[in-house]
Amino acid sequence: MKREDGLLTKRFDKLLIANRGEIAMRILRACHELGIKTVAVYSDADRNAPHVRYADEAYHIGAPPARESYLVIEKILDIAKRSGAEAIHPGYGFLAERAVFAQACVDNDIVFVGPPARAIDIMGDKQEARQTVKAAGVPIVPGTEPGLNDEEMIAAAAEIGFPVLVKAVAGGGGKGMRPVHRAEDLPDAIAGARREALSAFGDDVVYLEKMITEARHIEIQLLADAHGNAVYLGERECSLQRRHQKLIEEAPSFVVDEDLRQRMGAVAVAAAKAVNYVNAGTIEFLVDKDKNFYFLEMNTRLQVEHPVTELVTGIDIAQEMLRVARGRKLRFSQEDIQIKGWAIECRINAEDPYNNYLPSTGTITTMRLPTGPGVRVDTGVFPGYEITPYYDSMISKLICYGETRGEAVLRMRRALEEYRIMGVKTNIPFHQIMVESHRFLTGQFDTSFVETRFSMEEGEGESHDLEAAIFAALAAHRQGQQASQIVARGARDTSNWKWYSRWERLRK
């Protein structure tokens, strides 16, 4: 089936994964379980990565920088043709939300495992997305159209009410954005945002949006087939973020009751239908303290945090994406979907929480995964693997499930304690302190919590200075003993090999 809006569905038996890391592994596993043959692509940095070794076939696509490998549409399509792959799964990031790529797949008679190109296009343009979903009855954050002049915006701001955000149409990553709390600061803020947007993006068009304070980031997972059916799989709470990067997600949300869930779900389905959406997608909302919710954006792809929804619904979203792309009808209706238990995900990043969260590179020397009841790990790295600066710093996801939120939290605590990654610094200590914190346990947090009210010092409560001192003294002592043995060795008449193996034994 091929639609006008760039949707092609048909049965396929071989699929190319245009991605790497844990999400490539996730998709490979789903294919494996459905009996679909797999094709991996890899840059020079990834020859030994798990996704290459786990796939049935693997093709080299270029140098480590993504723009020379994972982002090069022609190379990906070329390999799909050479390998006979009939479908491509883009994962997240890289080409996942590039309408031109989705269309190029279809033009080459390759199934794109995702929505039609037209839906990606609309949802990728902030203003068009806002207008489209607003027309479908979806509440959006009050604000102005873009392109007003300064006087018009100043007038509009009075109507919207302060605080407001000045935002650049072309903006992203906080650039060209200004929070304004008082009317008298608005003219300067508009001018500043325009200047910044012009220099960063070559476009000085800005607009106003009401600033939602104490907001939570809550999103609705959707699944839609090519036959007009769409369901929501409940919500995810993703308020714990730092610099717009989510760090901990959970399902369900502490603040969403069944009534709110149904209302948000219905609105999310309406938004998806407004763009003839097909396959998995997510509508992100801001929810204020009075439980008003506002459309933020739609992610037209599989999300990093999809596992928490899988655990509480029992639905394998990665497998369902493949079924939908093959043209199958959804196997369940809205009434079949039950939320059972509680799931929490911690994103494990190669970064140093004790040093301003600086990314950490290096070779993983040891990785001991937590296991046992209620623990799932999605990872795409292994001991011996080198964390390079080329790709994003998320190296693993730790997901815990329990009958209740309390049980899930307790399992997360013990799983974090069991997890050992050495060779690079990770943010595991951040998660450990967070899941012990009173705020997290009582669900009292919003999107600004991590940046404004959380500190690694929170862990100071129970300090084990004495024990740390003993560890260090004993390690220093042992090191000193070894050093003196190394110095003494010159005098000995043993072969180096013998000596080396003795030293190895000593170290053990």
Partner 1 sequence: MKYYTKVNNQEYEIEIDHEHEITVNGEKYVIDFQQLPDAGLASLLINNQSLEAVVEDQDESWEVLMMGKLYTVKVQDERTYRLALARGLSADSGEGEVKAPMPGIIIAVPAVVGNVVKQGDKVIILESMKMENELRAPRDGIITQVKVTTGASVEKDQVLIVISDPETGD
Active site residues: 301
123 near a second copy (CB under 8 A): no
Q: Name the amino acid, one letter, at 353.
A: P
The residue from 1, 466, 488, 491 that contacts partner 1 (CB under 8 A) is: 466
Beta bridge partners of 399: 345, 376
Q: Residue 396's Cα: distance from chain center in Å?
A: 11
Write phi, then psi, for 244 (nearest 5 degrees).
65, 10
Shortest CB 401 distance to a second copy, Å: 10
For 182, 445, 462, the CA distances from 457, given in Å and listed in that order, are 34, 18, 11
Q: Which residues have C-beta within 8 Å of that of residue 320, sequence separation ≥ 6?
A: 223, 280, 330, 331
3-class SS letters over 462-500:
CCCHHHHHHHHHHHHHHHHHHHHHHHHHHHCCCCHHHHH
User: What is the rounded end-to-end Cα distance, in angstroms, of the chain?
Assistant: 62
* Range 473-502, binding partner 1 (CB under 8 A): 473-480
The site partner of 411 among a second copy, partner 1, none (C-beta below 5 to 8 Å per kind) is a second copy
Identity of the residue, 54 or 391, whose beta carbon is nearer to a second copy in the bound complex: 54
365 near partner 1 (CB under 8 A): yes
The site partner of 500 among partner 1, a second copy, none (C-beta below 5 to 8 Å per kind) is a second copy
Q: Which long-range contacts (CB under 8 A, 24 or more apart) does 8-11 make?
A: 8/105, 8/106, 8/109, 8/110, 8/111, 8/112, 9/111, 9/226, 9/278, 9/324, 9/325, 9/326, 9/327, 10/86, 10/111, 10/326, 10/327, 11/326, 11/327
Shortest CB 334 distance to partner 1, Å: 37
Give the count of beta carbons closer than 10 Å to the beta carbon of residue 231: 21
Please give the Cα distance from 468 to 356 (Å, whole number): 23
Number of residues that bind a second copy (CB under 8 A): 41
Region binding a second copy by CB under 8 A among candidate stretches 66-74, 134-142, 369-377, 457-465: 369-377
137 near a second copy (CB under 8 A): no
407 near a second copy (CB under 8 A): yes
Number of residues that bind partner 1 (CB under 8 A): 65
261 near a second copy (CB under 8 A): no
* Range 276-295, binding a second copy (CB under 8 A): none
Burial (CB count <10 Å: 0-12, 13-18, 19+), residue 198: middle
The site partner of 407 among partner 1, a second copy, none (C-beta below 5 to 8 Å per kind) is a second copy
379 near a second copy (CB under 8 A): yes
The site partner of 33 among partner 1, a second copy, none (C-beta below 5 to 8 Å per kind) is a second copy
Region binding a second copy by CB under 8 A among candidate stretches 122-130, 240-248, 366-374, 463-471: 366-374
83 near partner 1 (CB under 8 A): yes
- Is residue 252 within 8 Å of residue 237, measured between CB atoms? yes
The residue from 368, 453, 489, 498 that contacts partner 1 (CB under 8 A) is: 368
Tokens in use for 136?
């479908």
The residue from 127, 262, 292, 366 that contacts a second copy (CB under 8 A) is: 366
- Chain position carrying tokens 């009050």: 142
410 near a second copy (CB under 8 A): yes
- Is residue 325 within 8 Å of residue 279, measured between CB atoms? yes
Q: Identify the DSSP state of 4.
A: T
The site partner of 442 among partner 1, a second copy, none (C-beta below 5 to 8 Å per kind) is none
Q: How many helices (H) and strands (E) does the chain have?
A: 17, 22
The residue from 196, 225, 284, 378 that contacts a second copy (CB under 8 A) is: 378
The residue from 442, 467, 487, 490 that contacts partner 1 (CB under 8 A) is: 467
382 near a second copy (CB under 8 A): yes
Q: Name the amino acid, one letter, at 370.
A: P
Closest CA to 208 of 146, 139, 289: 146
Tokens in use for 242?
């730092």
Burial (CB count <10 Å: 0-12, 13-18, 19+), residue 347: buried
Shortest CB 352 distance to partner 1, Å: 8
Please give the Cα distance from 154 to 144 (Å, whole number): 10
258 near partner 1 (CB under 8 A): no
Shortest CB 363 distance to a second copy, Å: 9
Three-state secondary structure call for residue 187 = helix
Identity of the residue, 51 or 178, whose beta carbon is nearer to partner 1 in the bound complex: 51
Contact string 28-47 vs partner 1 (x = CB under 8 A): ------------x------x
The site partner of 375 among a second copy, partner 1, none (C-beta below 5 to 8 Å per kind) is a second copy
Residues within the interface to partner 1 (CB under 8 A)? 40, 47-48, 52-59, 83, 243, 350, 352, 354-361, 365-366, 368, 383-384, 388-393, 416-417, 420, 422-423, 428-429, 432-433, 436, 459, 463-480, 507-508
Residues within the interface to a second copy (CB under 8 A)? 25-26, 29, 32-35, 54, 307, 310, 314, 316, 318, 340-341, 366, 368-369, 371-379, 382-384, 403, 407, 410-411, 413-414, 417-418, 496, 500, 508
